[in-house]
Amino acid sequence: MMRNNKGFVLLLTFIFMTILTVFTGALIYMTTADMKNAASQSDDVNLGSLADAGIDRAHREIRDDYLTTTSTGAADLRGADTSLSVSLGSPGNMRYIDTSNAAINADTDQAILRTFDSNYTNTRIMSVEIHVRAARAGAGTGATMQIDYTTDGSTYTIVITQALTTTMTDYSATVAALASWSTMMSSNFRLRAIRTAGDRNINIDAMYLRVNYGIDTLKESWATGSYAVFPISLNGGTIQSITITDEESKVHLNYASQPLLQDLLTNLGVASAAIKATNIVNYRGALLTNPFDSVEELQQVTGITASDYSAVKNYFTVYSFVNSNVYRPTGPRAPVNINTAPFEVLKALFDSLGLEAGDSTSLANDIITFRNSTPFTCFYSSSSATDFYDFVNGISYLTADERNIVLDNCDPSSLIPVSGYAGYNCTTTELCYASGIFYAEALSQLGARKFRVKTLIGNDGSHTFTTYTGDTTASGWRKENFE
């Protein structure tokens, strides 16, 4: 009986020890797992912090460029409307710098110019100058010219009082009060020239505004990545890379014309591009009744496959600048930055213009070659060799008619590119020279794990944006994922 009890106790002891061993092992496993999970969560936090530090570095680079204006341009803004002039001889001649003149023949005559070029309204203005090229006719007691301007349509402010010679001369004055696009684009803003002394006629070759502004190009450090050397060691991990891309280099889904959409899809290798471009236009509605709120929404368009979306997603945007001061054709349009747009986008701008075979490809390549040396600074300037106007007119493989077609398409102002030229319809979209919104991407690494953050950053520090003119609900955009 005693031996049986001892055997039973021994069995119970064995069972208890087995249970205790299993429990202890489970406890150790759970503790180890919790520790690993806590460590993993800590790593996740660190990875996110590293990627956010990369985004913050991109933000600082964009902000510094905005504040220091590392690249600049200057453009001559021509006025299209001379209808308010009083007793002025040949008023239309003062819209261009050429050999034809407008004439002030009496003290009661007034040369009045308004409705100025709107190509640059997304640029950061540095200064604005009023310019007048004028001379007096013949000998005699001479002539004194007064140049003034009004912002309300009635009260004029004098900026130049100048006794003229018989030599055609450009007179100018910097006016700080005009350093605002809303002021210069107002229907109440106008320039005026009058004669205040003397008895000689005044010949006016041109009246115009010269705006000095910041531009954005691929030669700046935000684009080249020269602001940092990667990887950057930080907090036990690394920032592997930071990428900054100009949203103005892309085509706006809500404002691109059907021809522009079709040609870009074709250039990106999308099959049935014409049908799919029409589907995009139909999706958003003729009056933007169903605007795209994101590029991802492109996947909802009939016919757009997963492979199509993968091929085109980096060439479209809904956040770039929309110019509401476009005069031809009417209605807002979204320009493309000529200094940052990729080949596929540039070629699409010209594909629908009826140029000879191969000319669109040549023109896009020539633009990229030119800007790699010297970025374009403006559409037109009488004193610049880096304007698009002179560049196009220097291309020998384009006929004179083709040059005018290209220039007309890329200029949304009221004035046609050449004085007296009939003009063409603006088929795709125009060019711009500055950008305000950038796509930023940062990749972090800790051990074998990687984490990527993608977001949008405004050059003024903003993180929320609208996607079409009239949008009252600004929203941000951010994507993140482990790799």
Average pLDDT over residues 406-432: 84
Residue 18 has pLDDT above 80, yes or no: no
d(CA 282, CA 316): 17
pLDDT for the residue 37 = 52
Beta pairing class for 336-337 and 431-432: parallel
pLDDT for the residue 6 = 64
The radius of gyration of the chain's CA atoms, rounded to the nearest angstrom, is 32
Higher pLDDT, 461 or 321: 321
Q: Are 237 and 50 in contact (CB under 8 A)?
A: yes
Residue 421 has pLDDT above 70, yes or no: no
At 419, the pLDDT band (50, 70, 90 cuts) reads: low
Residues of the chain with CATH 2.60.120.260: 74-214
| Cα 427–Cα 428–Cα 431 angle in degrees, nearest 5 | 120
Average pLDDT over residues 295-321: 98
Nearest 10 degrees: Cα torsion 26, 31, 36, 39 = 170
Beta pairing class for 316-317 and 478-482: unpaired
pLDDT averaged over every residue in the chain: 92
Helix (H) or strand (E) holding 479: strand 478-482
CATH number of 74-214: 2.60.120.260
Average pLDDT over residues 407-436: 85
Residue 40 has pLDDT above 80, yes or no: no
Beta pairing class for 72-81 and 202-214: antiparallel
Residue for token digits 């940052």? 340
pLDDT for the residue 382 = 86
Average pLDDT over residues 93-108: 93
**How many residues appear in the chain?**
483
pLDDT in tens, 73-85: 999 999 999 999 9
pLDDT in tens, 202-237: 999 999 999 999 999 999 999 999 999 999 999 899
pLDDT for the residue 39 = 47
Question: Of 23-37, 191-205, 259-273, 296-310, which range is least confident?
Answer: 23-37
Average pLDDT over residues 41-69: 92
In the chain, % of residues over pLDDT 70? 92
Q: Are 43 and 235 in contact (CB under 8 A)?
A: no
Partners of 116 in the β-ladder: 79
| CB within 8 Å of 201: residues ≥ 6 apart | 103, 104, 105, 136, 137, 138, 143
Residue 294 has pLDDT above 80, yes or no: yes
